[in-house]
Structures are given as C-alpha cells and as structure tokens.
Chain A
Amino acid sequence: MENFLQQLINALTLGSIYGLIAIGYTMVFGIIGMVNFAHGDVFMLAAFIALLIFLALTQLLGLASLPIAFLIVLVVAMVLTALWSWAIERVAYRPLRGSFRLAPLISAIGMSIFLSNFVQVVQGPRNKPVPPMFTDFVRLTDGPLSVALSYKQMLIMAVTAVLLVGLWFVVQKTALGRAQRACEQDRRMAALLGIDVNRTISLTFVIGAALAAVAGVLYMMYYGVVNFADGFVPGVKAFTAAVLGGIGSIPGAVIGGLLIGLIETFWSAYFSSDYKDVAAFSILAVVLIFMPSGLLGRPDVEKV
C-alpha cells in the first residue's frame, strides 16, 4: 500500500511534466495539423537555458536565495524558449505553409536534429549534473516503508496546476483564445473575419514553448541531470499523451500526460524498468490504431 501511494505521487509528478509538454503538441496540431517534431528538443533546450541561467545567477551574480533564483529562472526560461520557438516557426515552418503535407514534417525533423546537435556542440556531450535544489520532504505516513512527498514534487504539481488554470483562462476568455479556436475550426473563414492567422499561429507556438519551458525547468530540477539527447524520448511520450487524450484537445493532453505518467511509473515499479519505453511506444501504437481520436478528441471525418 505504501509503495503504491509513493508510486502514485511519483506518477503524478512525471505526468504533470508530460502534460505540460503535450499541450504544445496538441495546440500546434489543432491549429495547423502538423506534428511539431522539434517540440521535444525545445523542451530539452529550455532545460539547458534554465540550467545556465541558474548557474549564472548563483555563481556569477552570487544570488543566495533559492526560491527567488528559481522564480527568475522560470520566467527567463519561459521568455527565451518562447522566443526560440517563435523564431523556429518563422524560419522553418511558416515558409512551408500551404506546401505539400510532408514538407513541414521533414523540416521539423531537421529542426529537431539541428537543435539537439546544436546543444551538444555548444554545451558538450556529457551529462550535466544539476546542483540539488529543494531537497526537503514531508512524511505522509510513518513506518518502515514511509510515503514521502518532496517539496520538489509539490512544487511541480502546484506550478502545473497554476499554469493550467492560466491557460484555460487564456483559451476560453481572451480574444487570443477565441482567435485560436476560430483558426482551429476554419482557418480561411477566420482570416475572412479579420483574424491575423499568422500571428495567432505564432502565438500558439509561443504558448506551447513557454509551457514546455516550464516542463524543462521542472524536469531539470526534479531529475538533477540534463543531457542534449533528453528531448527525444520525453518528446515522443508527451506526443503519446497528446494522442491518448485526443489530439487537439487541451484537457485531453493533460489527462493523457497523467495517464502516461501513471502507466510508465507503475510499469517500471511492478514489471520492468528496462522496457518502460516499450510500454509507452506500444500505447502510442495501440491508441492510434484502435482509437485514433483519443479520449476527448473529435473523430476525424474525411469528406470527399
């Protein structure tokens, strides 16, 4: 029982991170129908930016207070990653809008290869051990197998919850959100009604990247190590989450993320941690084959 509870906490933590990345996939797919293959690498880039800012703050500027440093890192990483993603969209995807359907996907794959190798070249191929942060924890039960909830895990869940509420507000209540939903339904009609479609798409990339940046910061803090190759597998898993929840649906992405977190954690805990990636990839295949519209997605009807 204790083990189960502990795994549940771990799973929700991991699931929150996947959910944050998955939102970026799902929003971009919803609005331009493209799998943004480089999104996982944007997440990895964010983790590196966060690490470098954190080191600069603590070592070069001598900032002692950890919470303040963390807050600054979070904000700066979000802004810079959003800028990167904006630039990527502008350079690599926008010229291909309206081109044949494989072109943006290939371009995104190229971008993904570029980003991971760029980070490898400029920051070195070795694992970067991050200085430990927020190491305290709360014991929820006493006993030989106690259940512990660490401050890190609380922070991850709290940050995720706050961001999701913020995102819900943006999408449902603001002009930008309305424009996004309109573009999702019918881009040409939205343009006729005076919506700046290109700007809306850019902002979708920006929002997705900012959320991925938060995921990157949390990932770096939680696991205490980052590597240039860390973008691919979490990226595919987050994409699985987006598909599982129904691609195009933001609540679906979050639910999918939590489910993938649960499945992966319990699979590692009770079966085999070597094959945990196989579990995630198999779910992706099974969901796409048997339930292509996911849990909350709209079924995709092809009109002739």
Chain B
Amino acid sequence: MPLSLAHALKQAAIAGLLALGLAFPILALRSDQDMNNRLIVETRWSWAIGAALAIFALRLIGLYLQHWRANRPQSVRSNEARKDYGTPLAWAGLIILFAFPFVILSLLGPQGALKWINNYGIQILIYVMLGWGLNIVVGLAGLLDLGYVAFYAVGAYSYALLSTTYGLSFWICLPLAGLLAAFWGILLGFPVLRLRGDYLAIVTLAFGEIIRVVLINWIEFSNGSAGISSIPRVTFFGLPFTAGEGGFAALFGLEFSPIHRVMFLYFLILCLALITNVVTLRMRNLPIGRAWEALREDEIACRSLGINTVNTKLTAFALGAMFGGFAGSFFAVRQNFVSPESFTFIESATILAIVVLGGMGSQIGVAIAAVLMIGGTEVLRELDVLKAIFGEGFDPAQYRMLVFGLGMVVMMIWKPRGLISTRTPTIFHMKRRAVSSDLVKEGHA
C-alpha cells in the first residue's frame, strides 16, 4: 500500500502541534535571576517553533522509513547457524588496541597524542573494563545491578586511602582494592539473594546511593565532598615517572616526557581489561559459568536441577565487584584525586547501558558499545563545527548527557537485544554456532 502524502503530512502536523504544546512553557519561556536574585521570565518563541518544526520533519521521515521497512521483503529468521564474526573481529580489535597509542604518537607527536590517548584511549578502556565486569553480573548471571558504581567507588577509595594513609604502593593496593570490592560485593549481595528483576535493580541502586551519601557525609573517613587529593601517581613497577635522577626516562635513557606515564596507564588499563575478558571467557566454560548462564535463563529450573543458587549469585556478585574494584583503583591512580562526585547513579546507568546495548553476555558487543557511547559523547565535546552552525555561545559539552539519554532510548527501540544479539551456547552439538537471542527464553521474573 503506498503511503499517501496527505496522510503523512497530517500525521506529521499532529506530531508537530503536539510538540509545540509540549514545548510551550519549558522552551518558549526562560526564567533567569536578575541582580536582586529575583526570577524574571522572558519569552523565547523561536525555540518552541524550532522544536515543533524539527519534530514535524522527524515524524515525516519516520513515517516514510516505517513504510519502507514494512514493504521490504522480509528475511526469515531461522534457527540456522549464523556466521560467527566474533573471533576475527576480536583479533582485529586487539591489534588495533595495541597499535593505537603508537599510531597516534607518530601522527600527532607527544603533545597532540597526550589528549587522544588520555581522553579516548584510557577513558574508553575504563568503561570497557567496567562493562566486562558488570557483564558477569548482568550479562551472564542475569542479576540486574544498578549500583555497580559502588564497587568502583570502593576500589578507588581503597587505593586513595591506603596510599595516602599508609603509603602503600599502587601494586600492593591494586589486589587489595579488588579483594575489598569483592568483599563488599558479597556483603551487598547477601541480602538481595531473594530478589529478582526490577526489585533487585532498585535495591542495588539504593546501596550505591547509600555508599555515595556516606562518602559525602563521613568527613573523618573520606574527607567528604572535598574528596581526597594528591594521591600518589602510578610508578613503573617502582620507578616513578619523573624528570630527575632515578626516574623512568633517565633509567631507560629516554628524554623525559609526560607521554610515558600516559602510555603506561593506557597499557595498564588495557591489560586489566583483557584480564577481565580472559577470566570471564574461561569462567564461562567452568561449571560455575554454566550455572550463571542457567540462572539467567531460568532460576526455578536451576534450583530444581540442584544448582546452589546462593553460591552462584554470590560468586557472580563478588567477581563482578572485584573487577569493578580494580577499575576503581586504576581510576584513582590515573586522576590522583577521588571525590563522591565521580560515583553518581549516572555512572551506574552508563555502565549498565553499555552492557545492555552490547547485547547482554557478549564480550565483543560490550566493547563496541563502550566505544560508541563513551567515544561518541567525548567526540561531542570536541565538535567545533556545531559552534559554527549554532553561534559562539553554543557549548556542545552541555548537550552530552542529553544526547546520551536520548541515545539510550533510541538504541532500546532500535535494538532492544543489543548490538550483538546472538548467543554462543557453551555446549553444542558437532559444531559451535551462534543463535539469535530472540530464541532464548531468559528471565520471565
């Protein structure tokens, strides 16, 4: 059936009018304080009309897109094996990751490369690692955790406090931070064993917030919202990255440059992330990993088959938390500063969004999702092109979280099962193959 233009225009006009109604007070009026701190209101009709026109256009495009998709010949979804792109993609990604800092360095020189390796490389890899850590809890064990940032905070504060109070080095604190976070994972996991689905999500959210509020208010312990500053920097297994005698540069006969430390941090987080990945992949083949996945698909069936769900859930929580703790202590050593500001609910939501968008349980999917979401929002910071279009006062960084939130909604509507929506069963007949996750039952709770 062809889509009549009149009908499409009418639909789009309704959407546009609706948008005008929605935009009326919030866009068309703007309140601001004057000199006496009194609120005054001014009108800004152009914004509301612009929004209405934008929605009109979007709806029109959307209608034609929908029409096009509906009339396209349908591909039949089958149980047939799909081609497994995972392994070659993973190897390619690995090579790119190891080559990335050197390529950037040779292209931009030490000054220009600093920003790229730091803002893109390290930042994205932290989220890849957090995503892989949370993937154990959410993707494999199917336990929806909205308070993952709590363990990240435990790791960061462990290193910050142990190093500033007792002068312990990063290499001692790193395993300690992981252990402490795992301990907290079990501690927080224990009471929520009976909960499932949305309820579990909300309780873990509450735990995350409790830890943050305590960090803000318990000033003797954590220095409150001022945070802990001058945390010792990372060393090359004991060698400091300093300019003088006995530094990393002097010992290896290199000219001192801040790029050394950044490069080292990059490879450190890369290794930590890869350890997370390897451990997860290996665990999937162990009985415990299979128990996790069984738990995700059906808890009652799991219990009927004699799987100890308490141990299964607690190990998932503890292991996920441990990797969160490692990432946290890396975060502290990279920033040299921690404060409760860094551990808000938005962080947990971001990490969860990465896991879900990646296609829960898919390692490579999580990595791609982290690159898209974190890299994408970082790119938005840089876009000076937009400044040229919207005028000098336009600051793209402001719109970062706005686009991020909208992106989460759009991604869910477009691909609710995530980017890599196939499952590779650990037990297979004759040949290893992936199946579409639409065919998986999963979580009826």
Contact = CB atoms under 8 A, between A and B. Distances in A.
Nearest to A104: B412
Given A107-B409, A123-B30, A275 B213 contact: yes
Contacts of A53: 25
B300 A52 contact: no
A124 B213 contact: no
B214 A96 contact: no
A89 B401 CA distance: 21
Interface stretch (B3-11, B258-266, B333-341, B349-357): B349-357
Contact of A126 (B18, B33, B202): B33
A56 B41 contact: yes
Contact of B408 (A87, A110, A282, A288): A110
Contacts of A209: none
B41 A48 contact: no
Interface string A16-58: 0000000000000000011100000000010011011101100
A72 interface: no
A55 B41 contact: yes
Given A59-B40, A102-B356, A110-B405, A282 B210 contact: yes
B356 A55 contact: no
A52 B28 CA distance: 10
B148 to A, nearest CB: 13
A282 B443 CA distance: 27
Interface string B338-364: 000000011001001100100010000
A289 B41 contact: no
B346 A113 contact: yes
A284 B203 contact: yes
Interface stretch (A127-135, A159-167, A263-271): A127-135
Contacts of B405: 110-115, 117
A18 to B, nearest CB: 16
Contacts of A236: 205-206, 209
Interface string B12-37: 00000010011011110111110001
A107 B25 contact: no
Contacts of B346: 113
Interface string B382-399: 000000000000000011
Contacts of B202: 35, 239, 243, 284, 288
A100 B417 contact: yes
Contacts of B43: 60
A96 B416 contact: yes
Contact of B412 (A55, A103, A284, A304): A103
A48 B18 CA distance: 19
B65 interface: no
Interface string B404-445: 111111011100110000000000000000000000001111
A192 interface: no
Given A118-B402, A121-B399, A128 B39 contact: yes
A16 to B, nearest CB: 23
A222 interface: no
Interface in A72-86: 76, 80, 83-84
Nearest to B357: A106
Interface string B114-158: 000000000000000000000000000000100000000000000
Contacts of A105: 144, 198, 201
A156 to B, nearest CB: 22
A226 to B, nearest CB: 10
Contact of B31 (A52, A87, A110): A52
A110 B210 CA distance: 22
Interface stretch (B79-87, B172-180, B188-196, B308-316): B188-196
A274 interface: yes
Counting chain A CB atoms within 10 Å of each CB, which of B197, B217, B402 scores highest?
Answer: B402
Contacts of B443: 100-102
B29 A55 contact: yes
Q: Which of B37, B214, B405 has the most CB of A within 10 A?
A: B405
Nearest 6 pairs between A and B by C-beta?
A110-B408, A113-B405, A114-B405, A55-B41, A103-B416, A281-B206
Interface of A: 33-35, 45, 48-49, 51-53, 55-56, 59-60, 76, 80, 83-84, 87, 91-92, 95-96, 99-107, 109-115, 117-124, 126, 128-131, 232, 236, 239, 243, 274-275, 277-278, 281-282, 284-285, 288-289, 292, 302, 304
Given A109-B353, A110-B411, 17 more contacts: A33-B198, A35-B201, A92-B413, A95-B413, A96-B413, A102-B360, A103-B412, A106-B412, A109-B352, A110-B405, A114-B408, A118-B402, A121-B399, A129-B37, A274-B217, A277-B213, A285-B191
22 contacts: A56-B41, A80-B24, A92-B409, A95-B413, A96-B416, A102-B144, A106-B412, A109-B349, A109-B408, A111-B409, A113-B346, A113-B404, A114-B406, A114-B408, A115-B405, A122-B27, A124-B32, A128-B39, A277-B213, A284-B203, A285-B210, A288-B203
